[in-house]
Amino acid sequence: MNTVTLSARGTERQKSGHPWIYRSDVTSAPEKPGLYAVKSAAGKHLGWAAVNKKSEITVRMLTRFEQVADEALLLKRLSSAIDARAKMGIDADSYRVVHSDADGLPGLTIDKYADVLVVQSNCAALEPFLDALLEVLIERFQPVGVLARFDSKTRLLEGLEQNVFEAFGRVPDSVIATEGSVKFLVDPWRGQKTGAFLDQRDNRMALERHAKGKALDVFSYHASFGLHLAKVCESVECVDSSAAALERGAENAKLNNLENMKFTNANAFEFLREHEQAGAKFQTISLDPPALAKARRDLDSAYRAYKEINLRALKLLVPGGILGTASCSFHVSESDFYIMLTDAAKDSGRNVRVLERRGQSPDHPELLLLPESRYLKYAILEVVD
Ligand code: SAH
């Protein structure tokens, strides 16, 4: 059998354009993960997909209508993704080269850190084509090394093994990435995600344009926002619960010859509460929490947590102060995010102006028909008075 057949409900979903079809909407699928033709409940050809019977997301549509999905198509999509980045005006040597489904390569993430590439592969159907894709990467980027960061939990759900290894050349423990006016160290082997949070790159550069005075970088990780702020602010205090991330933050400060940075290992919620109660004041605050709503059922508690930190940040700002604030929870919609910010502004008693409404950097493209590809909300706010 070399086709996958959808149920009536799966057929409806496929027609609606969402590229993922779940196991419960699939009538029959081949045992072996791979690229297969997709048929409707009535036996009509619908296109081709990456298929894995073991995965909850059993079918990920690759083409609609007649176009066959094969190695040549995947290689072409990789080349198009690389060409597209060249047109994005990225002011950095480190960016996302492939953003999974949004680049037509489901489950595949490829990040570039200077002359090193890091690959994550979370789709068993694409796994047999990785060597061919690697050849294109080597030819186009001439990297010193390519790291296979095959350690995600999703791989287990796909029935794949976990492993982290050099797929090509040598990958150092630390790579210096350049982003606009700053440099930072990335640990491709052990850092979060593939080593850094590249989706916030343009937001970091945007906040740098508005920042001033005494600044806070809350949920700082290795101080990615903080470094940009330190370039233009009097002082920056970076707050995070990870000591390892802060250590790298301190190294980053040295790398950029910045002597106005301080690193505080603390729970951000407590830090903000204590500083607000003590009447502290800042001119710029960056808030970049981890996803506080991991699932839809977390929405109420996430709303309260997001509102708490944003309300406290607004209260900590002087008139004219700047707040850069993010939510990377897919389950929190853009409108939920602005409702939360509006509620925080109301409770703070301050008049708050929206300077910029932003999202993820363009090297993390979104598909309109795949809402899961649109996850990062970012606002730059000014406390008018
Ligand atoms: N701003 C960073 C990314 C932040 S990711 C960048 O642009 O690169 C979220 C960070 O929040 C992680 O570094 C994590 O260690 C930290 N974190 C998670 N929960 C926290 C808490 N309760 N208090 C302080 N830091 C926390």
CA-closest residue to ligand 1 atom 9: 290
How far does residue 45's CA lie from ligand 1's centre (Å)?
Answer: 46
In which band, very low, low, confident or very high, does the pLDDT at 377 lie, cut at 50, 70 and 90?
A: very high
pLDDT tens sequence across 63-98: 998 899 999 999 999 999 999 999 999 999 999 999
SS3 (DSSP) at 217: strand
| C-beta 198 within 6 A of ligand 1 | no
Residues 32 and 101 in one domain: no
- b (16+ CB within 10 A) / e for 18-43: ebbbeeebbeebeeebbbbbbbbeee
Average pLDDT over residues 192-212: 96
| Residue percentage of the chain with pLDDT more than 70 | 100
Residue 1 pLDDT greater than 80, yes or no: no
The total domain count for the chain is 3
Q: Is residue 304 part of a domain?
A: yes
Residues 326 and 351 in one domain: yes
- The residue from 139, 173, 207 where one domain ends is 173
End-to-end C-alpha distance for the chain, whole angstroms: 68
Between β-strands 34-39 and 3-6, what pairing exists: parallel, antiparallel or unpaired?
A: parallel
Q: Is residue 29 part of a domain?
A: yes
Residue 293 pLDDT greater than 90, yes or no: no
* CATH number, residue 81: 3.30.750.80
φ/ψ of residue 154, rounded to 5: -55, -30
CA-closest residue to ligand 1 atom 11: 219
Q: Which atom of ligand 1 is nearest to the CA of 225?
A: 7
In which band, very low, low, confident or very high, does the pLDDT at 26 lie, cut at 50, 70 and 90?
A: very high
| C-beta 197 within 6 A of ligand 1 | yes
Residues 378 and 362 in one domain: yes
Residue 142 near residue 117, CB atoms below 8 Å = no
Distance in angstroms (rounded) separating the CA atoms of residues 223 and 185: 10
DSSP 104: T
Q: Which amino acid is at 43?
A: G
- Give pLDDT, residue 65: 85
Residue 226 near residue 240, CB atoms below 8 Å = no
Catalytic, 328? Answer: yes
H-helix or E-strand spanning residue 276: helix 268-277
H-helix or E-strand spanning residue 249: helix 243-255
Residues 87 and 133 in one domain: yes
In which band, very low, low, confident or very high, does the pLDDT at 296 lie, cut at 50, 70 and 90?
A: confident
Residue 142: exposure state from Cβ atoms within 10 A (0-12, 13-18, ≥19): exposed
| C-beta 263 within 6 A of ligand 1 | no
How far does residue 178's CA lie from ligand 1's centre (Å)?
Answer: 21
How far does residue 49's CA lie from ligand 1's centre (Å)?
Answer: 36
- Give pLDDT, residue 231: 98
How far does residue 251's CA lie from ligand 1's centre (Å)?
Answer: 17
DSSP 54: T
| Range of weakest confidence among 65-69, 119-123, 195-199, 205-209 | 65-69
pLDDT tens sequence across 242-291: 999 999 999 999 999 999 999 999 999 999 999 999 999 999 999 999 99
Beta bridge partners of 282: 317
Average pLDDT, the chain: 96
| Residue percentage of the chain with pLDDT more than 90 | 96
Residues 338 and 221 in one domain: yes
Distance in angstroms (rounded) separating the CA atoms of residues 362 and 90: 9
- The residue from 21, 40, 64 where one domain ends is 64
Distance in angstroms (rounded) separating the CA atoms of residues 74 and 81: 11
Task: Tell me how many degrees the CA angle 255-262-213 measures, rounded to the nearest 5.
Answer: 100
Residues 29 and 86 in one domain: no
Q: Which domain holds residue 7?
A: 3-64
Residues 210 and 356 in one domain: yes
Residue 264 near residue 287, CB atoms below 8 Å = no
Q: How many CB atoms lie within 10 A of CB 357?
A: 13
Distance in angstroms (rounded) separating the CA atoms of residues 177 and 292: 28
- The residue from 64, 81, 112 where one domain ends is 64
* CATH number, residue 37: 2.30.130.10
- Give pLDDT, residue 152: 94
Q: Is residue 379 part of a domain?
A: yes
Q: Which atom of ligand 1 is nearest to the CA of 222?
A: 8
How far does residue 280's CA lie from ligand 1's centre (Å)?
Answer: 22
| C-beta 333 within 6 A of ligand 1 | no
Q: Is residue 362 part of a domain?
A: yes
Q: Is residue 180 part of a domain?
A: no
Instruction: Considering the candidates 123, 233, 238, 328, report the single residue annotated as catalytic.
Output: 328
H-helix or E-strand spanning residue 265: strand 261-265
* Structure-block tokens of residue 265: 């290992």
* CATH number, residue 201: 3.40.50.150
Residues 257 and 148 in one domain: no
Residues 311 and 360 in one domain: yes
Residue 44 pLDDT greater than 90, yes or no: yes
Q: Is residue 10 part of a domain?
A: yes
Residues 44 and 84 in one domain: no
CA-closest residue to ligand 1 atom 5: 290
| C-beta 194 within 6 A of ligand 1 | no
Task: Specify the higher pLDDT residue, 192 or 337.
Answer: 337
Residue of 204, 241, 274 with the most ligand 1 atoms within 8 Å of its CB, for mutation: 241
| C-beta 225 within 6 A of ligand 1 | yes
Residue of 240, 361, 364 with the most ligand 1 atoms within 8 Å of its CB, for mutation: 240
Distance in angstroms (rounded) separating the CA atoms of residues 100 and 123: 10
- Give pLDDT, residue 298: 86
Q: Is residue 296 part of a domain?
A: yes
Residues 56 and 151 in one domain: no
Residues 115 and 131 in one domain: yes
